[in-house]
Amino acid sequence: MTLWEKAYLPEILRGLSITTGIFLRNMARWITGRKGALTTYYPEEQRPDYAPRNRGKHILTQRPDGSPQCIACNMCATVCPAKVIEIEAGFDANDPAHPKFPVRFEIDYSRCVFCGLCIEACPEDAIRMVPATPGLPSTDRFNMWLTMDEMLTWNPHHDVAKPYPPKGGDPILRGDVSSTH
């Protein structure tokens, strides 16, 4: 390595020339009234070239009766690398198929990394991410908690992959089998 290369001067000059070229190109676009660079003024503007599998806002899928498909197993909260999901479980003795349900299900979007591991871990197809992100940006981090009601009502999905039996529908599951002898 020569002294010229050890000084990193050629690489510094090359980097400056690339940066200056991009700056001048964007400045020319701005002066002529065209948009420059990749700046999008979100949320007023949204780019149409988002990938169809873009990970945006979380939703909870619903059973036919409108209750959450979630069984409060905490798999999503356990696998979350940012530890942003909080679930408080309740118990319904009248639902033998899935006696646990979420009383409280919240996600802290100020720390969410949108990795999608929560969706992969869910055994009930209860949580999904849709491409849109309305209402997520905020200047106050305490307004970035997404509650269970918002996840159920904002963009409701009833097309769960796993069918859910109605409450008290199958007498065998309830243990109400009566003998005819």
Quote the pLDDT of residue 172.
44
Which DSSP string do the residues of 36-53 spell out, in sequence order?
-TT---TTTS--TT--TT
Joined together, the tokens standing for residue 26 give 């964007």
Please tell me what DSSP assigns to residue 106. Answer: E
Residue (of 95, 35, 30, 48) closest to 69 by Cα position: 95
Q: What is the pLDDT along the chain (181 residues), one digit of tens a residue?
A: 788 778 888 899 999 999 999 999 888 888 887 766 667 777 677 777 777 788 889 999 998 888 899 999 999 999 999 999 999 999 988 888 788 999 999 999 999 999 999 999 999 889 999 888 787 778 888 888 999 999 999 888 877 766 666 665 544 444 443 333 3
Quote the pLDDT of residue 58.
93
Residue (of 160, 63, 80) closest to 121 by Cα position: 80
pTM to 2 decimal places: 0.66
Radius of gyration of the chain (CA): 26
Quote the pLDDT of residue 37.
61
Quote the pLDDT of residue 127.
94
Angle at 167 between CA 162 and CA 169, to 5 degrees: 95
